[in-house]
Each structure stands twice: as C-alpha cells, then as structure tokens.
Amino acid sequence: MEDVTMPNLGYDMEEGKVVSWLKKVGDDVQRGEPIAEIETDKTTVEMEAMASGKLAEIVVPEGETAAVGAVIARLET
C-alpha cells in the first residue's frame, strides 16, 4: 500500500480541502495522473498521483479538510 498525503502547495499552507475526487475506489491510477482537486486558501489545484496502482481507499471524503502530510487516500501498488 502507498499512502496518498495532503500535499504542501504553498509556503504557509497548513491544511487543504478535498474539493473532489477524480477517481473512485477501485479505479486504476497512473503516476502523474490527476486524482483529486485540492483547495487552499488561495487556489484550487489538481493533485497528481505520485505512484501507479489501484485506488484502494479514500480516507478524506469530498468537502473535508486535512492537515498537510495527513493521509487522504491509499493506493494498492
């Protein structure tokens, strides 16, 4: 398993909000492929997968926030 963590998208970013998941549990994911939209206090960006595999679990659902570095999903690699 590979943990997908909330990325640090800015110098003063402490947490981010998962606006939407672009993949569902069970979907195949390729490294570099957008898997979620993350909102900071300044912008919304697409987050890319850092590994290839299958989306095994979504830990933080859409509309919820998580601290930078927190596990938001897991990939089965």
CATH code: domain of residue 48: 2.40.50.100
Range of the domain at 33: 2-76
Rama region for 11: left / alpha / beta (φ>0; ψ in -120 to 50; rest): alpha
Q: What is the pLDDT of residues 37-60, one digit of tens each?
A: 999 888 899 999 999 999 999 999
pLDDT of amino acid 11: 82
* pLDDT, mean of residues 48-75: 97
Q: What is the 3-class SS of 4-71, one letter each residue?
A: EECCCCCCCCCEEEEEEECCCCCCEECCCCEEEEEECCCCEEEEECCCCEEEEEECCCCCCEEECCCE
Domain count, the chain: 1
- What's the confidence (pLDDT) of residue 44? 93
